[in-house]
Chain A
Amino acid sequence: MDLGYIFSQLLMGLSSGMVLFLISSGLTIIFGLLDIPNFAHGVLYMFGAYITYYFVSHVVDGGFFIGLIAATVSLAFLGALLEVLPLRRIYQSPHALQLLMTFGFILILEDSAKFLWGAAFKSTKTPALLAGSILLPGARDFPVYSVFIIICGFTVGLILWLVLYKTKLGKMIQAGRSNKEMLSALGVNVPRLYTVVFMIGSALAGLAGGLASPLIAVSIGMGDAIIITAFAIIIVGGVGSLLGAFVCSILVGELNTFGTHFMPGLAMIFTYILVIVVLLTRPEGLFGKKLQ
């Protein structure tokens, strides 16, 4: 195993980490502010994939990019719908009920997807622009599309960072995490803020789904597999921490990539071991605030 190969594997891990980052960033922002563990985040990702698939198969030129935008925007609206109608009423309820309600969302949305698109696997074609490969230093082929994902991931990460730390909205979000009453006393429309944050998180999930769709078969169950990984990432990274989501997504991406080479039998349980270790030793995660 020479350096060229190792380098290509590192990049691959980075690319799969970026998809995970897009999903987990939305999840951690929602959980951080609203204190709601959104189990349905995986099906939002799935919907994003289906919507992108629809545009790719019906619009010939640039269908993929239109599909990405459509996925992001429509998921923002879907998120708003979910937040305003049912979710908002249970902010005072115990975590158990909130978790179970989002579980209910999963059932509703999965069957809706089945109704809209049927149960067979769908495949989204990679846009021609991004379909080739480049030659890495070390003489290994690497898909252009994976490079695209890395660029998207970093870009989104940068935008999110800017929003969170350089805009008023971001300051409100950060303030709201520790003291909602203060925010409201200062005249901020807290319910509207919650809705906006939920919309942002859902939009990110939709974007992630759209970006993932040329890579994997689009199916109704694709959200179920990824949601557990996403939760693991935000826990290990620290709930509410964008940096935590970023770093841990890359960590998990690299672990999965290198793990298949060195410890193939354990592929199923890497993430769980990581979560257990973190929860037992440092439950607030690598970058999170200490738990009360």
Chain B
Amino acid sequence: MSESKPRTRREFIKTVGGVAALAATGNLAIPRFVNAKKGSIKLGQIMTTSGIMAGQGIPGMRSAKIAEEIINKSGGILGNKLEIIQEDDELKPDVGVRKFRKLVLEDKVDFVFGTNSTGVGLALVPLANEFGKIFISTSMGDEFTEKNCSPYIFRIGESTSMASRASAYCMCEREPSVKKWAGINPDYIFGRESWAWFKKGMEEKGAKIEIVHEAFAPFGAQDFKPYITAVIESGAEGVFTSAWTGDLINFIKQAKPFGFFDKIKAFVNNTTADAVAMGLGDEMVSFWGEARYYPFYNKNEVNKEFLRLYQEKYSTYPEADVGAECYATVMALKAAIEKAGTPDTKAVIKALEGLEIEVPEGKKWIRPEDHSGIDEVVLLGKFHKDPKYPFWVYDPKTYFTVPGKELAVPLSQSVCKMKKI
């Protein structure tokens, strides 16, 4: 077919039409407030608020908003109003990247914090370095303070290694008769590292245990029954799992009819156990749980106020521990800015290093050498039914604590070589 005149014209008109559409949508689609309000300090927060992990991100957003309210009620930061701008990363690294750029370049935030997913958080590290902005991670990856450490990067709380080793220490002390262990973990980096650190933690305490079974289930697996029966077959007495929220709920529901929790003497989980308890309600079973924040342990004023405000605004207890981590991050930044006397990045970095603050989970200290946030204690507890609460809680008689400083990766073993800026 040869090119005839009307055809050429049609092509042209199509492209003009396209350009017109472009221009029109261009105008419509970018209503932005770019003016930095004088006298305000802006924080950008990126969490997952859509899709299957929204149950993690939403508490993070809510907790940050409570912190913002408290701070502004008492006069803001250095007299400036605090503004937290929140974005959804859809659990996708590339979306997180785009949101980070928007927050920094368009909304002109001073600092960025967030993510509930280490995968997304890591994607933001190069950007923080590129733009010279502080990024505080609220996810658990060790990478933020190890191979991806940098002056701009902080991790506010417990890491995978800390939670897993704490779980091991707890089992050594509280379930010393359990010698045969099995591990069912999700098949991705968090799952594999958790299991590796658990075994290491056992080694560190000199426990003479035998690993009778280990398996990695696809993350988000719907059917755990083959794994469950395999564990039972192996004759395991104790089971460690880093499966969390949905996966752990599935595991527990499917395991119960097999009499799993009668056959296994000890079952321990290294993360977000509180969210699982809230999700399962009556169907919960008794096991050793760990979480970065457990609402009922700490009796300090900060925690009481946090819980009270959360209940008032949202009619529930914080649904996931990452919420408290976000709250702590905002409070830490406030303290650091006040200590530095300015929101300037370099000054705030110096102020954050070595900072100690009181937050709902207790005292938190930021180690200067690698920017690890280290809690006073890491807590485990065994769940039991308490009629006072709508969901199972730790039996206070079973509280097990390890000082955070004992769990943090020793500096001599750390691979972090932070450049000075």
Chain A residues engaging chain B, CB cutoff 8 angstroms:
1, 5, 8-9, 12, 16, 114, 119-123, 125-126, 131-133, 140-146, 212, 214-217, 219-222, 225-226, 256-258, 260-261, 264, 267-268
Contact = CB atoms under 8 A, between A and B. Distances in A.
B220 interface: yes
B357 interface: no
Nearest to B58: A119
Contacts of B257: 126, 131-133, 141-146
Interface stretch (B145-153, B243-251, B292-300, B370-378): B243-251
B319 interface: yes
A143 B258 contact: yes
Contacts of B279: 120-123, 217
A109 B412 CA distance: 53
Q: Which of A146, A219, A261, A268 has the most CB of B within 10 A?
A: A219
Given A131-B256, A261-B230, A267-B217, 18 more contacts: A9-B229, A119-B58, A120-B279, A123-B249, A123-B281, A125-B282, A126-B257, A133-B257, A141-B259, A143-B254, A146-B257, A212-B222, A215-B223, A215-B254, A219-B52, A219-B246, A221-B52, A256-B226
A146 B51 CA distance: 29
A126 B50 contact: no
Nearest to B247: A217
Nearest to B230: A261
B225 interface: yes
Contacts of B54: 114, 119-120, 220
Interface in B62-110: none
A133 B229 contact: no
B230 A121 contact: no
Interface of B: 49-52, 54-55, 58, 187, 215-218, 220-223, 225-227, 229-230, 233, 245-247, 249-250, 253-254, 256-259, 279-283, 319
Contact of A121 (B187, B221, B225, B249): B249
Given A119-B55, A119-B58, A133 B258 contact: yes
Contacts of A119: 49-52, 54-55, 58
Contacts of B221: 267
Q: Is the interface of B mostly helix, strand, loop or mixed?
A: helix
B52 to A, nearest CB: 4
Contacts of A221: 51-52, 220
Contacts of A126: 253, 257, 283
A244 to B, nearest CB: 22
Contacts of A226: 222
Closest 4 CB pairs of A and B: A119-B54, A143-B257, A221-B52, A120-B55
B319 A120 contact: yes
A131 B282 CA distance: 13
Given A141-B258, A260-B215, A121 B246 contact: yes
B220 A123 contact: no
Nearest to A15: B225
A48 B233 CA distance: 34
Contact of B222 (A121, A132, A214, A222): A222
A125 B257 CA distance: 12
A217 B275 CA distance: 13
Contacts of B226: 9, 12, 256-258, 260-261
B225 A257 contact: yes
Given A8-B229, A119-B49, A216-B250, A125 B215 contact: no
Given A121-B279, A260-B230, A261-B226, A220 B52 contact: yes
B229 to A, nearest CB: 7
Contacts of B280: 123
A226 to B, nearest CB: 7
B319 to A, nearest CB: 6
A114 B249 contact: no
Contact of A114 (B50, B282, B283): B50
B293 to A, nearest CB: 17
A125 B283 contact: yes
Given A120-B279, A214-B253, A16 B225 contact: yes
Contacts of A5: 229, 233
Nearest to B280: A123
A221 B247 CA distance: 13
A50 to B, nearest CB: 14
Q: Which of A1, A131, A261 has the most CB of B within 10 A?
A: A261
Contacts of A261: 226, 230
A193 B245 CA distance: 43
A260 B226 CA distance: 7
B198 to A, nearest CB: 19
B232 to A, nearest CB: 8
Contacts of B55: 119-121
Contacts of A256: 223, 226
Q: Which of B52, B215, B221, B319 has the most CB of A within 10 A?
A: B52
A122 B281 CA distance: 10
Contacts of B259: 133, 141
25 contacts: A1-B233, A5-B229, A5-B233, A9-B226, A9-B229, A12-B226, A16-B223, A120-B55, A121-B55, A123-B249, A133-B258, A140-B229, A142-B257, A143-B254, A215-B222, A216-B253, A217-B250, A219-B246, A220-B52, A220-B54, A221-B51, A221-B52, A221-B220, A260-B227, A261-B230
B217 A12 contact: no
Nearest to A145: B257
A215 to B, nearest CB: 6
A225 B52 CA distance: 11
A226 B223 CA distance: 11
Contacts of A140: 229
A264 B222 contact: no
Contacts of A125: 281-283
Contact of B229 (A12, A212, A217, A219): A12
Contacts of A215: 222-223, 250, 253-254
Nearest to A260: B226
Nearest to A1: B233
